[in-house]
Every structure is written in C-alpha cells, then in structure tokens.
Structure 1
Amino acid sequence: MNRTNQKTIENLRQVLGQTFSLYFQSQSYHWNVEGARFRQLHEMFEEQYTELSEALDEIAERIRALGAYAPASVAQMMSYAGEEASPAQSADDMVSNIIASHQTIADTLRQAISQAAEEADEVSAGLLTDRLQVHEKTLWMLKAGQK
C-alpha cells in the first residue's frame, strides 16, 4: 500500500460506506413507498439503487488498486458509513431523508477530492469528482421535485 495515499484510502472507504448506506436506503424506500406518487418514487428509488450498486464496485476496486482492502463485512462497511438515516414511512419523509443522505455524501466527496488532489492521486480525484457530479445532479432533481 502506498502510504502517501493513506488519507485518500480512508476517504474512499468513507465514501464506500456512505454509498452502501444510501444504496440500502434507496432499496428500502423502493420496497416501502406508498401514496399518490408511488409509481414515480418507486421508479426513481430503483434508478438510484441500481446506479449506486455499480458505484460500490468502482469505489471498492479503486481502494484495491491503491493496495488496500475494501471492507469485508457489513459491520465493517457500516463503520465507515456514519450516522444511519432515520426510518421513514411517508413519501415526503423518504424524499427528505434521501436528500440529506445525498448531501452528506456530496460534502464527503468535496473533502475527499481535495485530499486526493493534495496527494497527487488524479485517478481517485477523477472517480470522486464523477461521483460528486451524480450526487449533485440527483440533489437538484430531488429538490426541484419538492417545489
């Protein structure tokens, strides 16, 4: 493992944990959403967890490419995820919670991009920037739908 990239590796693990948590949150909301916006939200949550599933693989593989190990258990993965989102019953609460989760990852990503750039790890910075673009676009769409 390249010791100069240790902070970036830890940031990637945090992004991976938060992405895993959001993946499960999106999947759970997909299963449990009800109400007048059922179809719209059911499909949107499915799009999100599908995209997040692919992202999990990319992030974990980057950690491995840097010579470190990705989390090997759910408990270990969740140790990097931070605070878990509150359960939600209503569609409005689900949307509010998922907005907060996307915002948390976006904040983490901004810090991680700066760290990767500081460590001259352009590949990690690029991956993290691509992830930030996804979360920012999702935030825009979710917030626009609340107006």
Structure 2
Amino acid sequence: METHIGIKENDRLEIALELSKLLADEFVLYTKTRNAHWNVEGADFYNMHLFFEKQYEELDDIIDDVAERIRAIGHFAPATLKRYTQLTHLTEETREENTSLGLIKELLQDHLTIIFHLRENINRFATDLHDLGTSDFITGLMEKHEKMAWMLRAHLK
C-alpha cells in the first residue's frame, strides 16, 4: 500500500536516503562505542566500561528510532553491514589507542560528524522537502548527540 502522508514521493525518497545515511552512521558509532566498552584499558577501566555501556545503550535506542522513521515515511531501512559501510560518513577504523582518552577522542569526533550532518538537514527537511516531522525528529537527535559529545568532551579536561 502506498504511503500518503502529505509529502511527495520524490521528497520521501530523498528523506529516506538521508535517514539511511544517518542510520549507517549511528550503527557504525554504536559498534565503535561497543568496541570501546569491550576493549578500554587502563586504571579507569571499570568506570569507563560503565560509561561506554550507557552511551551504546542510548545509541541502540537511536538506531531503532531512525529505522522506524524511515519505515514511517514509507521506505525500508537498510539493515546490512555492507550497506552501512557504503552509506556511512564515518570510518570503522579506530585510529586511537585503547586507553579511555584515545577512545573518547575517536568517539567524540564521530559524534561531531553526525551533529554537523544533522544540522545541515534540519532546515532542508522542513523547507525544501516539506517534512516538518523529520526535521523535528533530527533536531531531537542532534540534541542527544550534543549531550553525548559533551559527556565525552568532559573527560578530556
């Protein structure tokens, strides 16, 4: 059944593509945060292990929300690692060491990349693609990533 929600099909297709890129970014960041949780080393291991766990749990919820938004506008969410690596703005490669500071720097940069891409699309979704719902949705995601980035950045002081 076709989706009639007041947004043209061409616009919904473009929105779904941008959300699919976001979903890929979120999944890669989730995986890298899981890596940090599992592999962090150092005197602060236990506290950082718990910290990274809280972050990946929040990212898990975000992933589900993004996929469901794609479905709500009438498209299928990508769900393969191959497709995620094709769509993501991030790199799977970890360039830092497995200390808490090294992992935090890497994850912080990824959050900032996502924040910039979200910010670029807020007005575009609302104005150009006539989708206030997705614009509002990604504004909320941007705020979540800003808070997560702040939490990471606080460890670097």
User: Aligned-pair distance for 1:52?
Assistant: 0.8
User: Aligned-pair distance for 1:141?
Assistant: 1.9
Residue 80 (structure 1) aligns with: 87
1:128 aligns with 2:135: no
Q: Hey, what's the Cα distance between the residues in 2 that align with 1:85 and 1:91?
A: 18
Q: Hey, what's the Cα distance between the residues in 1 that align with 2:79 and 2:60?
A: 16
Residue 15 (structure 1) aligns with: 22
Residue 111 (structure 1) aligns with: 120
Structure 2 runs not aligned, ≥5 long: 4-8
Residue 153 (structure 2) aligns with: 143
Q: CA 1:131–1:57 in 2, change beyond 3 Å: closer, same or farther?
A: same
TM-score (norm 2): 0.87
SS, match of residue 121 in structure 2: helix
Residue 70 (structure 2) aligns with: 63
Q: Hey, what's the Cα distance between the residues in 2 that align with 1:42 and 1:114?
A: 37
Q: Hey, what's the Cα distance between the residues in 1 that align with 2:64 and 2:90?
A: 22
Tell me, yes or no, if the aligned pair for 1:30 and 1:41 is still in contact at 8 Å: yes
Segment of structure 1 superposing worse, 135-144 or 23-32:
135-144
TM-score (norm 1): 0.92
Q: Hey, what's the Cα distance between the residues in 2 that align with 1:5 and 1:111?
A: 17
Structure 1 runs not aligned, ≥5 long: none
User: Aligned-pair distance for 1:62?
Assistant: 0.8
Residue 31 (structure 2) aligns with: 24
SS, match of residue 114 in structure 1: helix
Structure number with the bigger relative contact order (C-alpha 8 A, sep ≥ 6) is 1
- Rg (Cα) greater in structure: 2
Percent sequence identity over aligned pairs:
33
Q: Number of paired residues?
A: 147
User: Aligned-pair distance for 1:131?
Assistant: 0.6
